[in-house]
Structure 1
Amino acid sequence: MTVSNDGESGLENQDEQGKRDKLIRRKQEWAAEGRLLTGNNGNRETDRLPPGQRLVQNWPVLDLGVHPDIPRDKWRLWIDGAVANPQKLDWAGFQALPQSQSVSDIHCVTAWSRYDNRWRGVLVRDLLDLVKPRPDAQHVILHSYDTYTTNIPLAEFADEDVLLATHWQDEELTLEHGGPLRLILPKLYFWKSAKWLKRIEFAVFDKPGFWELRGYHNHGDPWEEERYDD
């Protein structure tokens, strides 16, 4: 029997969707079981490694299997919602914003942590100066090119160490790690640092995102071990 290219693509798509669904079910089961929870609270002032975490030297790749590859000439970042000065930036426009560097640790909800990551990109504080959130803005909803979403309190999004990153360890972010642009928010579990950013929405009301609607904590503080919904 001959299978057309369209048929092959359809089978591949079904296979990828099956893998994606299986991963989502497994992660939801972890949340329901409270997997990896230690019941201990850490102290971010004294503890570099949050409770239940293990230190790694590599950078594991964890996602839903979709890596949206957007050409730079097609790429856009929308910044809108409860702001006085909404923006639609192309790649050149984003690169024209003030560029900064930072070093931070990252902590994944699947219990790995990596120290001393060097980032380059645009500090969120510089972005806020540009778009000017309205006084009633309290939340930020991140939208990715793969349709992923996650939510963050504006107060933590505005922390001095939060960065819209284009580079890691002095190299451009690879596609598998969220390039060309991802958020880096060191104080929360890494699922909050959305990959493949497409839109930053400032909101008056909270909007739980993809994992927050599937059993994961709405906030995600590693030192409080906020892995899963109560």
Structure 2
Amino acid sequence: MIIDAHDLDATAAYKLLIGSIVPRAIAWVSTASREGVGNVAPVSFFTAVGRKPPMVSITLQPRSDGVTLKDTLVNIRETGEFVTNLASLPQAHQMHQSAFEFDSEVDEFEALGLEKAPCKTIRAPRIKGSPISFECVVDRIIPVGSGGENVVWGKIEHFHIRDDLYLERGRIDTAALAAVGRLAAEYTLVSNVFTTPLDAAVLESYENRRMTRLDGHGTDWSPIDTAEWSPSGASTNPETEEAR
């Protein structure tokens, strides 16, 4: 199958991107408005972009109406700061719900039952219980294309790492994270590790094998086929909300 990208609308292109770029790390982004209202949002268009200084990027689409800017981007523009928090399995459902389009005056920490933790030098709060958080200040905001998307580059001012995860020589104990990643419109638990080469018998055992599900759905089920899914990563149902 060869698909001409020029023939795709934003929704079709988004489906191909999120289903092909897997697994994606999730930045569970916390911000505060100028008035101090807390906001939380999962962003899976997220990666590292530099080492010195350490920098990350997040890409934010408009709300589900395709026009209105999400509160995360508004807060970042107005305050120049944000936090990326790691989503681990115990907080996966709250992370999932945090993509719901709350009204701007609602403190989403309170709405989702999350606790705030202070940062060292920025006003935006961290998510208490997240194993790793980066407090960031804005380096640049880059508009992308004609779909209303914006890429935010953030310079990391401080790393917040749970003590038991910080190993000798500055390593992170990744095997202890229970990190959650993004597969299309679903999630994956990072639960195995390997180095190469693998034994031929191991490779053969995985040939044509489908992933196992932890949620009881059929192996061919996908949220993309439901009415609640949106290519903005948002819907009006907090129980079935999709990460951006």
TM-score, normalisation: structure 1: 0.25
TM-score, normalisation: structure 2: 0.24
